């Protein structure tokens, strides 16, 4: 057998060190803003970041809930198992929504909205029940659900479809605001009737985002924001409990505040401060031991900050920033107004809600009762946000099909 010539050996590509370089290239290609696979990379980045946040959430729910469950004579895994079940259901919802064509969401926009209204009205029937003064839950066959979480997704899908269909008419303010503004107002009023101001604020933010990305004129846009602020103000002053929460936030050192309505916020700050830079270790939180009530719910970020420290908290914030980046990339790469509006609505919903939750836990704003997406305990929230990610994947896949069609 004749050995290869020296020139042939020299021409043969070297494989030394190629594997690490390839892995490095694949990693950074997820963030590529240009190139033939940029849309697929943005979609993969979205899914990867979502899975990372869900994994962190499951870990923190287990850590934050286990001690009190043991003290109550229950299995330390009870709450974790429920959240894992909902994460599994949400994963199925993500896959199903991802494979539903974008054109189907356009056709089903009105049935989706009306169906979500009907389900939301069930909270005012015998199926509904109150939790801490809010009547926003229903119970069927031993399972509970919060219909208002799915209202968020329905407003995004329906509002985006309507605005995309009327794109050429949006220069007229009547076409811009009708029927999206009345539809969003009905959703907000349904939630307000159940006394859930936090969710109503998120719905209002979603509506504002849709109008912003649709190009509403500055006057109309500012007017809508002003109307929303006035509405929130009236909702606050009409409720003694909400007024007391504002007072507790404005003057946290007032006598009795740290033991009353300001108790949960004060304990959350103690937890964040106790975590330091690197945290006390997973499972080692002291504040979760009967100090922060239901620590696995809206205030789970305090436990995360205590156990994982400033580094862990910043990693979670960074993951939400990467999630936002991936959504923006999917929107930028799509030549479709419906995709743009859906991406804008979901971006403001998930990232905006995360900002509000973290601001509450850190004491920057009064307590308004919104969960941290993917991380706080709650089946309805988990399924709804994972379904929203599935819709974004559907939008991205539609961009792939259009690109192939053009090619």
Give the rounded distance of the alpha carbon of 68 from its chain centre.
27
Q: At 396, phi and psi to the nearest 5?
A: -65, -40
pLDDT for the residue numbered 101? 96
pLDDT for the residue numbered 13? 44
Cα separation, 163 vs 187, in Å, equals 17
Give the pLDDT of the chain (407 residues) as one tens digit per residue.
Answer: 444 444 444 444 444 443 444 444 454 455 555 655 789 999 999 999 999 999 999 999 999 999 889 988 899 999 999 999 999 999 999 999 999 999 999 999 999 999 999 999 999 999 998 877 788 889 988 788 999 999 999 999 999 999 999 998 888 888 888 999 999 999 999 999 998 989 999 999 999 999 999 988 888 778 878 888 888 888 888 888 788 888 878 776 565 666 667 788 888 999 999 999 999 999 999 998 878 888 899 999 999 999 999 999 999 999 999 999 999 999 999 989 999 999 999 999 999 999 999 999 999 998 888 999 999 999 999 999 999 999 999 999 999 887 655 43
**Radius of gyration (C-alpha) of the chain in whole angstroms:** 24
Cα separation, 187 vs 218, in Å, equals 24
Instruction: Give the number of other Cβ atoms within 10 Å of residue 14's Cβ.
Output: 7
SS3 label, residue 277: coil
Cα separation, 384 vs 98, in Å, equals 13
Nearest to 150 by CA among 132, 140, 141, 138: 138
Q: Order the strands of the 134-140 sheet from edge to edge.
A: 128-131, 134-140, 143-145
SS3 label, residue 135: strand
Do the Cβ atoms of 82 and 359 come closer than 8 Å? no
SS3 label, residue 41: helix
Total H helices, total E strands in the chain = 16, 3
pLDDT for the residue numbered 207? 94
pLDDT for the residue numbered 131? 78
pLDDT for the residue numbered 211? 93
| Partners of 138 in the β-ladder | 128, 145
Cα dist. 75→291, 292, 303, 393 in Å? 20, 20, 20, 37
H or E element, residue 130: strand 128-131
Domain segments of the chain as ranges: 55-406
Counting other chains too, the contacts that 215-220 makes at CB distance below 8 Å and 24 or more residues apart are 215/170, 216/170, 216/173, 216/176, 217/173, 220/173, 220/176, 220/177
pLDDT for the residue numbered 364? 92
pLDDT for the residue numbered 262? 78
- Scanning the structure block, which residue is given the tokens 């994963």? 91
Do the Cβ atoms of 123 and 139 come closer than 8 Å? no
pLDDT for the residue numbered 38? 86
Do the Cβ atoms of 192 and 151 come closer than 8 Å? no
SS3 label, residue 248: helix
Do the Cβ atoms of 279 and 295 come closer than 8 Å? no
Q: Which residues contact 316 (CB under 8 A, 6 or more apart)?
A: 53, 56, 301, 304, 375
pLDDT for the residue numbered 24? 43
pLDDT for the residue numbered 19? 42
Structure confidence by residue, pLDDT tens digits, 146-174: 999 999 999 999 999 999 999 988 888 88
Cα separation, 339 vs 344, in Å, equals 8
H or E element, residue 372: none
Do the Cβ atoms of 147 and 129 come closer than 8 Å? no
pLDDT for the residue numbered 400? 87
Do the Cβ atoms of 203 and 150 come closer than 8 Å? no
User: Based on the number of CB atoms within 10 Å of its own CB, is 23 exposed (0-12), middle (13-18) or buried (19 or more)?
Assistant: exposed
């Amino acid at each position: 057998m004749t050995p290869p010539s020296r020139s042939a050996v020299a021409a043969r590509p070297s494989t030394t060190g190629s594997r690490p370089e390839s892995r490095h290239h694949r990693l950074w290609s997820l963030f590529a803003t240009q190139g033939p696979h940029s849309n697929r990379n943005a979609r993969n980045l979205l899914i990867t970041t979502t899975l990372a946040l869900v994994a962190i959430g499951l870990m923190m729910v287990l850590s934050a809930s286990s001690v009190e469950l043991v003290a109550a004579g229950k299995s330390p895994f009870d709450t974790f198992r429920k959240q894992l079940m909902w994460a599994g259901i949400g994963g199925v919802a993500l896959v199903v929504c991802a494979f539903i064509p974008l054109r189907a969401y356009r056709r089903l926009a009105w049935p989706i909205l009306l169906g979500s209204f009907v389900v939301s009205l069930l909270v005012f029937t015998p199926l509904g029940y109150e939790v801490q003064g809010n009547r926003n839950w229903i119970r069927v066959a031993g399972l509970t659900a919060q219909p208002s979480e799915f209202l968020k997704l329905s407003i995004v899908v329906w509002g985006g479809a309507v605005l995309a269909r009327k794109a050429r008419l949006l220069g007229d303010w009547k076409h811009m605001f009708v029927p999206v503004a009345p539809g969003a107002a009905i959703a907000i009023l349904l939630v307000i009737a159940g006394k859930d101001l936090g969710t109503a604020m998120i719905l209002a933010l979603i509506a504002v985002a849709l109008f912003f990305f649709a190009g509403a004129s500055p006057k109309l846009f500012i007017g809508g924001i002003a109307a929303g602020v006035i509405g929130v103000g009236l909702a606050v002053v009409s409720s003694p409990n909400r007024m007391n929460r504002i007072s507790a936030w404005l003057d946290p050192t007032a006598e009795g505040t740290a033991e009353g309505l300001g108790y949960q916020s004060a304990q959350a700050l103690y937890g964040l401060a106790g975590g330091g830079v690197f945290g006390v270790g997973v499972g080692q939180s002291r504040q979760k031991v009967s100090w922060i009530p239901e620590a696995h719910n809206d205030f789970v970020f305090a436990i995360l900050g205590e156990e994982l420290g400033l580094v862990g908290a910043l990693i979670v914030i960074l993951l939400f920033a990467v999630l936002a980046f991936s959504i923006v990339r999917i929107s930028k790469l799509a030549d479709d107004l419906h995709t743009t509006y859906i991406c804008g609505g979901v971006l403001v919903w998930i990232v905006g809600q995360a900002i509000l939750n973290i601001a509450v836990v850190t004491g920057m704003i009064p307590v308004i009762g919104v969960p941290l997406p993917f991380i706080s305990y709650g089946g309805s929230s988990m399924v709804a946000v994972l379904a929203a990610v599935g819709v974004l994947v559907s939008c991205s896949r539609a961009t792939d099909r259009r690109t192939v069609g053009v090619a």
